[in-house]
Structure 1
Amino acid sequence: MLRALGLDAVSEQVYQELLAEPTLDATLLAERLGLSQDQVNASLDTLADLALLRMSREAPQQRRPVSPERARALLLRRQEEELQARHAALEANRLAVATAAEQATRERQRIPTATEQLDGLDEIQSRLESLVQSATTELCSIVPTLMTPEALEASRTLDEELLARGITLKTLCHEGVRTNPRSLAYGRSMTAAGARLRTAPALPHRLLLVDRATALVPLDPAAPAPSAVLVTTPGIVAALAELFDRIWADATPLDQTPAPDHATGITPAERELLTILSTGLTDEVAAKRLGVSVRTVKRRMEELMRRLEAGSRFEAGFKACQHGWL
């Protein structure tokens, strides 16, 4: 019982033995319990520190164990005091984090025109975590490709923390998440938790907007080494925010199925495929941009050619223009 209240096993053994025979000294306790003299002395010191031993009123030079009821009450009170101390420390840490975030926000506001280059995944991840923690109202992001399972789990932790703080999360995902079980499950769980997710058949490069005051974008999406630019210049951030809002307005909420155009009957994904292929790009490039396999691109194109009654892709492009599909 006392172990559940924080007393170690050896000290509880010594305490119980003293309850049975209060006059035992350290030597006899060690013999009876099969412990070393040092273990018994350490336990006696522990019991004394916890006030579970008191000086005898009959033999002032000897210590006696307090009653079990008193022992439980003392240990419980000690646990309550420790809990209150941890709670106070937690509140102090929370205040320190909030103060640091507020100070960081003020620092950004004092430098209205600034850019900073970040090189390497570690540096980008570190700054990304700082930005997320400093968010006060809204976090908008564009995720143009499917994320790895490891990236999804890392994002889940940050997203749940943001939602718990009342931050609005708006994420534009690639249409491919609808056919990827892991990504779809993640998106649905985040939506259920309060995040807002929409999909589009094609998206520009990655973008993160924090409180519409700071933006993080790739420095060169085509470069083999990852690098990013942190932007706080108001005009640039406003332009990126407007880009996000325009795509968001046309994107489809995750819990809805993308509807075909009423006039043409084609879906946004089909229109995007036609647009990509009409520029002369290969099926491989189209598949990469659409987040699907090359086989899916070929299958969708064959279906579009059948509906257009076209014998070739060139003819399909010509008829798509005639029908107002492009």
Structure 2
Amino acid sequence: MLAGLGLSSVEEDVYQHLVDRGETTTAALRTALDHPPEAITAALAGLARHGLVTTAPDESGSHVVGPPTITLGSMLAARRDELRQVELAVTELAERHRAAASRDLGGLIEIVTGLQPISRRFLQVLESADHQICGFTKTPPIAVGPRDNPAEPVVARRGLRMRTVIEQSYLADPDSTIDIDQSLGRGQEIAIVAELPVSMVIADSAIALVPLLVGPQETPRAVLISSSGLLSPLVTLFEKTWADAYPLRPRAAGEAPVPYADGSPGPARLSSLDAKILDLLLAGLTDRAVANNIGLSLRTVTRRIRHLMDLAGADNRIQLGWRAAQRGWI
């Protein structure tokens, strides 16, 4: 817990023991804690250097801690200052990198060569996004294919919106339906067009990676674009293509039900657990309140609600209630 402030695990144990008791001796610490005597002595010395522990001047040899809000607060403030300096250093390095890239069209683009460098830049573009990711996926993929695409874990972990337009030829893959259903089930938005001009990924309309079309014997290359002047046409192209593309939806009522994770088909009737979760949701409880009511973790409840939406073919929770009524679940 306190490792972020630079304390070792032994120092943290000693400090917490002292906080609980306010004052104790070295001998008492050695008896109470499961650490070698020399480790406890070294931890006390380290805590003293940090100003977290003082030793009584009398012969008792008692160690005393001050108010954590003051002593730890000062360490926290110092660490914030250090991180601020690191942030300034990163900004400076970024500026130096842009200046060094001036040989590539005035620093507006970077040429990336080779499969591994392109894949690495692709992931870096995704990780840089704060709001949304959008892009085109041609067939066949040049560097990163749908099944090894790291975008979806990024979206799931950070709550980003992701929109992808794919070429119609991708549906020729016999496994494409499973891939698409899984992607839609994880919240990705997918639309289809007959053909795309390029593959690309754009993060927050601020940076884009565009693989270049090369021959089968040529080394793959891509262009990393960070100029707003060059990005604007790509963003406009994506939005126009997205507006004209055919959107794919999760399986709706009347279609084959979305299977469970183990491959078994979705039921005509809900399990008792799912029915209970649905009843509590329709009663107006929050996800956390549902979790507390049933005795499950919040993560488990959220996953079951997502599963219910998949089974119902619902895009949102309002649709979930409506389609649950249609299917006789409530």
TM-score interval (norm. to shorter) = 0.3 to 0.5
TM-score, length basis structure 2 = 0.46
TM-score, length basis structure 1 = 0.47
Tell me which protein shows more helix as a share of its residues.
1
Indicate the structure (1 or 2) with the bigger Cα radius of gyration. Answer: 1
